């Protein structure tokens, strides 16, 4: 069964441990700026929201790639970037409606969440369980839209 990351903003403290773990897993160094997960702060730090690739079913990034450098890992359901095939054109960056693919100026390629091969280090590092690894049907775009509506409603109230 495929799984995906689930973010629960109400549990996030903004500690950035997820960013640290991700950068160490992928870069071998603690460089949050090169992490594939981000923690966004709203209301001057009052609310923190972890955010990364949702592994979309539509996968606009994959459709936009002119070199077919993005493929689906059938076991994980993750959309993976082949460093060998990526030419760094950034078409996928432009195509992603969520802004979760980033150009890496050090490699000249793009980076995105790969679910750490099925053992997401951001989940292991999160001290509050704001990030969990769940069955794929329990997270995704629908949950993101619902959370955004709720946050907007609370902000307006």
Categorize the per-residue pLDDT at 151 as very low, low, confident or very high, splitting at 50, 70 and 90: low
pLDDT of residue 86: 98
pLDDT of residue 153: 58
Evaluate if pTM is beyond 0.75.
yes
Q: Going by C-beta distance under 8 Å and a sequence separation of 6 or more, which residues neighbour residue 121?
A: 21, 22, 24, 25
Q: Which CATH class is domain 1-52+114-157?
A: alpha beta
Indicate the CATH number of 56-112 among 3.30.70.20, 3.40.225.10, 3.40.50.150, 3.90.1640.10: 3.30.70.20
Residue 13: closest CA among 44, 43, 49, 37: 49
Instruction: Quote the DSSP letter at residue 145.
Output: H
DSSP string, 13-54: ----HHHHHHHHHHHSS--GGG-SSEEEEETTTTEEEEE---
Residue 156 has pLDDT above 80, yes or no: no
Domain residue ranges of the chain, discontinuous segments joined by +: 1-52+114-157, 56-112
Residue 31: closest CA among 44, 16, 41, 45: 16
3-42 pLDDT, tens per residue? Answer: 899 999 999 999 999 999 999 999 999 999 999 999 999 8
Q: How many CB atoms lie within 10 A of CB 84?
A: 8
pLDDT of residue 43: 85
């Amino acid at each position: 069964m495929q799984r995906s990351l689930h973010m629960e903003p109400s549990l996030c403290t903004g500690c950035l441990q997820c960013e640290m773990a991700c950068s160490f897993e992928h870069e071998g160094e603690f460089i949050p700026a090169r992490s594939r997960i981000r923690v966004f702060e709203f209301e001057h730090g009052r609310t923190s929201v972890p955010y990364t690739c949702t592994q979309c079913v539509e996968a606009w990034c994959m459709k936009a790639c002119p070199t077919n450098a993005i493929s689906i890992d059938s076991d994980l359901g993750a959309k993976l970037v082949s460093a060998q095939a990526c030419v760094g054109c950034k078409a996928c960056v432009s195509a992603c409606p969520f802004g979760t693919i980033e150009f890496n100026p050090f490699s000249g390629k793009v980076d995105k969440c790969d679910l750490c091969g099925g053992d997401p280090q951001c989940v292991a590092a999160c001290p509050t369980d704001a990030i969990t690894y769940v069955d794929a049907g329990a997270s995704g775009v629908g949950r993101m839209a619902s959370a955004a509506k709720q946050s907007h409603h609370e902000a307006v109230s």
